[in-house]
Amino acid sequence: MFVLQAAVPGIDGVDAVFLGAVLILGGYGDAFGYLGEQNAPSWVMTLCLLISVTSILIVLGVFGLLADQILSSRFEFLRRRPRVPRSGHVVVVGLGRVGNRVVRILQGLKQPLVVVTNELQYPELLNEVALLVGPMLSELRAANLEKAKSVIAVTDDLMLNLEVVLAASEVFDAQGKPFAPVIRTLTQTFSDNLAALMPQAKAFSAYALSAEAFAGAAFGENILGLFRLSDQTILVAEYSLEVGDTLNGRLLAEVAYGYGVVPILLQTQTLQREGRDILMPDDNIRLSVGDRLYVLSSINGLRRIERGDRTAPRRWRLSADMPLNRGVLLEAGNRLSQMTGIDITRCRDFMNSLPNALELSLYDYQAYRVMQELNRRLPIRIAPV
């Protein structure tokens, strides 16, 4: 308005407002005319032209976004949604944060499933899994429950979870099929009462599991995850070995059998194995400073590692006779040292003085593996003392 008042002498405020609106809407012919004499400076004309071009681009952009949304929605509608599996599937009831995480894990395991929810919180799952949206107890009947493998109830409503499990239990009992539902609870008391009501059900309290993870973190350097196995919480713990660590210098056999844990991955920085990631590492590997070890363990196992409370090995007597081929004695001595942790010089002296006997401190699985390995090279006998 002020630009027009400055450019066009004698124009009042009302006319400037109307003239500005006409120019913004592209009515240059109405404002200036094309054949008559121009009474506006060229820079005003240029500014009005830029405003018009900008308006056209904005309008085209808006129409483009609307067209994209309309076409996308039509293609989404035409895309074929997954059907409810006919048999061997898992029925997940509830699609909150916990339910969505359960669905993602089952998808990663390539497990057929159907999700029952009363509210679609994750629309991206529409074309990824079979979804039944509506009253959960009613939609449960359309989930081919009689052919399902299991039911997982993970809603935020404890009583609704219980109703779902009881309704599913009636269907399975009518067919005489074994039924082991999984139900989410929020209190340990509810879990205990449910265990008395339905011993076959697996009840998980989110707060109880979190408490075990926090307690485990007090013993392990880093808790990466947890799961339930045989009514026990198994933690996935990560250890970074430092000077003075209770695991430093130990054979993995001593760690596994002495502390009751399962080593699953070793990241070592030793010169012989620099930068290697070893999945399911061998019992004969000796840990050193800088190694990173991942184990499966209960809270008790992590506590024992923290305190250095290792189960004492059993005493064994290894008796060996001279083999027909004396050339295997050097290799046999090296393998004996590697598997038992005994000084290599002592093992070689033992092999060079056959027949002879040697007392060892080994765990049962260690002793069995030593017998298997050395029996390939020379006649031996091993027995507990």
Query: Which three-class secondary structure state does DSSP give residue 239?
Result: strand
Q: How many other CB atoms are found less than 10 A from the CB of residue 371?
A: 15
Counts for the chain of helices (H) and strands (E), in that order: 14, 14
Question: Which residues, in sequence order, are bridge partners of residue 235?
Answer: 226, 297
The pLDDT tens digits of the residues spanning 333-377 come to 899 998 988 889 999 999 888 898 999 999 998 999 999 888 888
What pTM was computed for the model? Answer: 0.61
Question: Which residues, in sequence order, are bridge partners of residue 131?
Answer: 115
pLDDT at 14: 67
- Rounded-to-integer distance, Cα 89 and Cα 130, Å: 11
Sign of the torsion angle spanned by Cα atoms 100, 105, 110, 116? negative
Say how many CA atoms lie within 13 Å of 236 toward its Cβ. 7
Burial class of residue 273 (count of CB atoms within 10 Å of its CB; 0-12, 13-18, 19+) = middle
Q: Which residue has the tokens 């001595």?
A: 333
* pLDDT value at 30 more than 80: no
Please provide the average confidence, as pLDDT, over all residues in the chain. Answer: 81
Query: Comparing 160-169, 215-224, 372-381, which segment has the lowest mean pLDDT?
Result: 215-224
Q: Which of 160, 161, 179 lies closest to 170, judged by CA?
A: 179
- Residue that wins the pLDDT comparison between 342 and 186: 342
Say how many CA atoms lie within 13 Å of 91 toward its Cβ. 33
Q: What are the CB-based long-range contacts (under 8 Å, 24+) for 67-76? A: 76/126, 76/127
Counting residues of the chain whose pLDDT is more than 70, the rounded percentage is 83
Sign of the torsion angle spanned by Cα atoms 63, 68, 71, 74? negative
Query: Which three-class secondary structure state does DSSP give residue 212?
Result: helix
